[in-house]
Structures are given as C-alpha cells and as structure tokens.
Amino acid sequence: FKGIVQHEFLHALGFYHEQSRPDRDSFVTINWSNIQAGKEFNFQKRSDINSLGSNYDYSALMHYGKTDFSKNGQNTIDAPQPIGQRNGASDADIIQMRLVYQCNSGPRDLSSYNANRCTNDCPCWENAQGCNGNSNACQGDLVCSNVFTSISRGGGLIKLRSEVSPNMCFDLSSGNTENGNVIHLWECNGT
C-alpha cells in the first residue's frame, strides 16, 4: 500500500501521471479502444506538464500499469518496459520532487542519484545472454557487453564510455562492470 499512498501524495504535491507527458507518444502507445468509458481523461496528454528535463520514466510511481482502466482485460498502455510499479518512488520521482520544492538536503544529495542524470534503465543488461547487439530500449546505440574504452572516477561513481556511442556514458555506483548489471545512460558529450 505504501506505493499507492505515495502515488496519491504526489498528486497532492502537483504531480501528474507520467503517461500524460506531452512527449509520451515517443515512449508508449495508448490503446484508446480498451479504456473504460468515462476514464479516458486519465490518459490525455497535458501540455502544462513540466518534466524538468528528465527522461521518460517507465519506473515512475506516477505511471499507470499496462491494464489500468481496461474495459476488456487488454492493455490500455503498450510499453517496451514494465510500467505501473507501486513499490515506492523511483529515483527520478525523488529527483523531481526535490527539484520542484528546491530541497537540497536529505539522506542523499542530488548528485548521488545516478550523478543527477537519472534516465531509464537499459534492460538489455538484465538479459542473461549479455545482449550482444543494439537494444532499442537503450539511448544511443550502446552494445551492452564489454565495450568500454575509458574509465574515470568522479563523485564516488565510475563513469564508463562506450566505443560504439562515445557521447553516451553510464555510471555504476558499485564499480561492477560485469554483464547483468542494470545501468543508467546519460549523454556525456565527450566529457
């Protein structure tokens, strides 16, 4: 129930559903014919949503699940990653709350949340086969196994750069570079 309470609390703080972002059509597909009559408003895009420059967050607490408000058990939202978790706020949710309310203090400073570049996890790293090939879910053309050319330490994180896409980097707070680790990608532009 914790995630449901947090979801409703985020509404009270002024947050909207992730699938209502104006750019959502680039990330999910809404199946209007599967939505219960009178519930369509829950899936409308809102031009007044400010995503604060954050990437689309499939793991957002504010994202509906694939069959929420379904009239026939079929998906109301098609997404390439799991959506609709109610376990608790994602790192991106926390970053957005702290940015909106200018809260710089807390148990972790903002830079400790994936170097303040919170993006969606690259699911190919969860693939037991190592995902030897490009993943459509990854930003850029990252080949998800052993493609590192440089390692630098900064801010307590290890920054790795891909040979395939040198403008995309990712941080590993544990320092573990073995296949199977979930990563967060961000655009580093050669820095």
Which residues contribute to the annotated binding site for Zn(2+)? 7, 11, 17
Distance in angstroms (rounded) separating the CA atoms of residues 31 and 25: 11
Please tell me the number of Cα atoms within 13 Å of 166 on its side-chain side.
5
Q: What are the phi and psi torsion angles at 148 (to 5°)?
A: -90, 135
Q: How far apart are CA 26 and CA 148, in angstroms?
A: 29
Catalytic annotation on 8?
yes
3-class DSSP state for residue 23?
coil
Annotated active-site residue in 8, 126, 163, 178: 8
Q: Which amino acid is at 144?
A: C
| Plot region of 73 (φ>0 → left; ψ -120 to 50 → alpha; else → beta) | left
Rounded Cα distance, 52 and 31, in Å? 27
Question: Can you tell me whether residue 121 is helix, strand or coil?
Answer: strand
Burial classification of residue 168, based on how many CB atoms lie within 10 Å of its CB (0-12 exposed, 13-18 middle, 19 or more buried): buried
Instruction: Give the whole-angstrom CA distance, residue 154 versus residue 13.
Output: 34
**Residue numbers belonging to the annotated binding site:** 7, 11, 17
Among all residues, which ones are annotated catalytic?
A: 8
